Structure 1
Amino acid sequence: MQPQDERHYERIYQVISQVPKGKVATYGDVATIVGDGCEAATVGQALGALGPRSVQVPWQRVIGRRGDKGRVTTSGLHQRDKLEAEGVEFDDRGLVDLGKFRWTGPSEDWARSHGFQMLPKEEGAPAVPDSQLRLF
């Protein structure tokens, strides 16, 4: 492993630890938040290298993306069971509705104080801050 990978791995684990129960993030989401040239494949490699830390890092909350749906990308590791136990629902094709269960990313304060990026707002997301009341 290269020193850059090691640094990315630790930052990846930090981000994944922010994903709350009942929510999921995609490999690309995590890579975007980490920034600094991190790619979705690096997130997958980092998860594959967890070893004993897999009991500390909620790896099951990172899933693949297929359009507006998410999918479990592991085999034999009970990822789906773990997610269902946290309240994440799967459709009859085994896919997760990202519109309902996708994590919107860390708080701006957390991201800034830890040197991470924010996820870009999704198309159609409100342009006003969540704290501002929208009347019309």
Structure 2
Amino acid sequence: MKKIEHLNWYINAYGYAVAGKKASGVKEVFFMHRLVLSDPPELVDHKDHEKLNNRKTNLRPTDKSVNGFNHSRKFTGVWWDARRSKWQAYLGSSKGKPGRRVLGRYASRRDAQQAVVTELYKIDPIAAKHREELMNAENN
């Protein structure tokens, strides 16, 4: 790929492949994952969460909420519904915002988490795998 061949790459402190180029005394920094996409959006997501896997098929445009979830170390998508004394499972936006889809209410947190993982596998298997790992780590 011509855009990235001429640059000298290194791994930065955050684990991303970056290159620097000085022009007129000003250093410009390039992230490989942004250059690989032909028209990079503001944020780029690595589908498999591997910062050095910069194949075009592993990259996708994203927004802050999705990107934030990918860096999350906490299972999201369940909350305790005190009024009903059940765990609610959901996908999408925060409580009360458009785009939130309730998956059901469950007696245990684990069952609600499993409902989220099961539904997420239908939409985004990589994100589902990530949440499944978080679920298993939390419940062991």
TM-score range, shorter chain: under 0.3
Q: Where is the helix percentage greater, Structure 1 or Structure 2?
A: 1
Larger radius of gyration: 2
More strand by share: 2
Structure showing greater relative contact order (alpha-carbon pairs closer than 8 Å, 6 or more residues apart): 1
Q: TM-score, normalised by structure 2?
A: 0.25
